[in-house]
Amino acid sequence: MMKKISPKDLSRCSMMAALYAAVSIVLLPISFGAVQVRLSEALTILPVYTPLGVWGVTLGCLITNAYGVSVGANILGAADIVIGTAATLVAALMTRWLRNFRIKGMPIAATIPPIVVNAVVIGAELTFAETGKIFSPLLWINMFQVGLGQLIACTVGGSIVAAAIERCGLDKTLF
């Protein structure tokens, strides 16, 4: 039996998705491409605090990728709407699973799935878009570049978001 979603939960999820999409779209030039730092990926830490975060960041990614395709910024094309969003969902579920693994009190381990999943998936998508095949020496370069951008956004940015959430007590009151 499925749990009924309350209007309050739907609002929270929608706000997370909107924030993710808004940050990505405002920073459009750095949100797409082989060398990208999608700063909205700092929000991939939200599944640590609530299962709604899984759906919020996934929906935000879907909106961002669709918008990127519609304005020509997403060089991966329409396939990224499905593949990139699926990668975000998988990473968000893994992040949720790692929510209790902490390093010096911070959920640093939970920042790893978005880095690894996106490095592999988006790196492969970029390689295919550039060469017409996935397995190419370019794959390693693309995976490294995407992974580095994700490391900056998810681990550095995500740690800042997590620290702010926990210092303000939002982990207890908002989620």
The residue behind tokens 């020509």 is 72
- Percent of the chain, pLDDT > 70? 99
Please, are residues 77 and 88 in contact by the beta-carbon 8 Å criterion?
A: no
3-class secondary-structure state, position 103: strand
pLDDT (tens digit, 9 = 90+) per residue, 99-114? 999 999 999 999 999 9
**End-to-end CA distance of the chain, in Å?**
23
Per-domain residue ranges of the chain = 7-23+36-173
84, pLDDT greater than 80: yes
Which phi and psi (to 5°) does residue 103 adopt? -120, 115
Inter-axis angle of helices 112-131 and 79-97, to 10 degrees?
Answer: 160
Burial class (CB in 10 A: 0-12, 13-18, 19+), 166: middle
150, pLDDT greater than 90: yes
